[in-house]
Amino acid sequence: MILFKNVTRDVYSEKELYVLGTNAVLKAYGKNSYDAVNEAEKVLYDIDKNMSIFRSESEVSKVNKNSGISPQRVSSETFYVIKEAVRYSRITEGAFDPTIGPLVKLWGIGTSHECIPLRSDIDKALHLVNYNDIVLNETEKTVFLKRKGQSIDLGAIAKGYAADMVCKIFRKNKVSSALIDLGGNIYALGKKSDRSLWTIGIQNPFSKRGTFAGTIKVKNKSLVTSGNYERYFVQSGVRYQHIIDPRTGFPSTSSIVSATIVSDTSIEGDGLSTGIYILGLDKSIRIINSLKNVDAVLIDKNAKVYVSSGLKNNFALRKN
Ligand code: AMP
Ligand code: MG
């Protein structure tokens, strides 16, 4: 689905597209907004082509097919995203782990074959998950997974990288005000056209879509949420959601049901949001407080909302 609204060609352009497994909306204000949005669209499709695990010819799929066999040469973009993914794995003590592929495939959450797998299959897949088995060669730009059957899934970080790339294109085209929304992975560039701050809603994880738990006012910030409402299935009254804990092989059961990271770059927000979601409140708060220019809104199972100190003046709680 592609919809192009270019109201007054040089003032405002908006485009909706399906990319990276999600609905994306690009809204840009400014003289070059039409060209900027078109250029961004192309770049988004390229990122999808290189990094999707749903495309058998993508660079990531090739790395996965060659696991335990041979290093695979990739573009510097894909190399960078995998390298950053390893960095966020370390920061989140392995909660975020891009080698989660075998477990994601086994659970199939959000696909037609979603199910609770056999314990023995979970153990087998779990054994293959370890970001320390990613061998990166910076000069050759190759990626190698040490063991056969291992696979990389960049679903928890690629959208963040993509939002940063769109932002870069917009800035290059002198777009001074824009909202980049890649399926809830948001970058608010500059201020709104009326010079006020952008107001971004955080989905209430206990209410229907479009109901907000709170709002944040920002400029030049990325907001990325990992939430239990994104993709899940329910069996015998239990909800199994799409973020898998690499320590157990099961969907995360931490105290957090929604983790929003507010940061300067979206790759950082995306990488952190998934790990933070898994780690639970205490550890997550410690990690957030240790990082510069990173803030968070965390919602726990009891609907308690934790807001990091840097957001105190910009966050407003919503009573629904
Ligand atoms: P996000 O919405 O950014 O939290 O990403 C969730 C997606 O990342 C899932 O749909 C999986 O494809 C993948 N994923 C699930 N669990 C993990 C994990 N522990 N580490 C890295 N990626 C994961
Ligand atoms: Mg993420």
pLDDT recorded at residue 50: 98
Binding site membership of 270 for ligand 1 (Cβ less than 6 Å): yes
Distance of CA 173 from the midpoint of ligand 1 (Å): 32
Residue 37 has pLDDT above 90, yes or no: yes
Q: Which residue has the higher pLDDT, 193 or 296?
A: 296
Residue 8 has pLDDT above 60, yes or no: no
pLDDT recorded at residue 99: 98
pLDDT recorded at residue 9: 47
Q: How far apart are the first and last CA of the chain?
A: 33
Residue 1 has pLDDT above 80, yes or no: no
Q: Give the pLDDT band (50/70/90) at residue 6.
A: low
Give Cα 173 to chain centroid, integer Å.
25
Which ligand does the CA of 271 lie closest to?
A: 2
Q: Give the pLDDT band (50/70/90) at residue 11.
A: confident
Provide the 3-class DSSP secondary structure of residue 250: coil
Let me know: does 145 contact 64? Beta carbons within 8 Å: yes
Q: Give the pLDDT band (50/70/90) at residue 232.
A: confident
Spatial distance between the Cα atoms of 157 and 275, rounded to a whole number of angstroms: 11
pLDDT 10s digits, 95-153? 999 999 999 999 998 888 898 999 999 999 999 999 999 999 999 999 999 999 999 99
Residues with Cβ–ion distance below 5 A, ligand 2: 156, 270, 273-274
pLDDT 10s digits, 201-218? 999 999 998 899 999 999
Pick the residue whose CA is nearest to atom 7 on ligand 1. Answer: 156
Cα→Cα distances 15→7, 64, 178, 255, Å: 11, 33, 12, 37
Spatial distance between the Cα atoms of 305 and 294, rounded to a whole number of angstroms: 17
- The predicted model gives 31-56 an average pLDDT of 96
Binding site membership of 41 for ligand 1 (Cβ less than 6 Å): no
Phi, psi dihedral angles at 185 (to 5 degrees): -90, 105
Phi, psi dihedral angles at 21 (to 5 degrees): 70, 20
Distance of CA 104 from the midpoint of ligand 1 (Å): 8
Binding site membership of 177 for ligand 1 (Cβ less than 6 Å): no
Spatial distance between the Cα atoms of 40 and 168, rounded to a whole number of angstroms: 9
pLDDT recorded at residue 4: 52
Q: Give the pLDDT band (50/70/90) at residue 2.
A: very low
Q: Is 25 exposed, middle or buried (0-12, 13-18, 19+ CB in 10 A)?
A: middle
Binding site membership of 104 for ligand 1 (Cβ less than 6 Å): yes
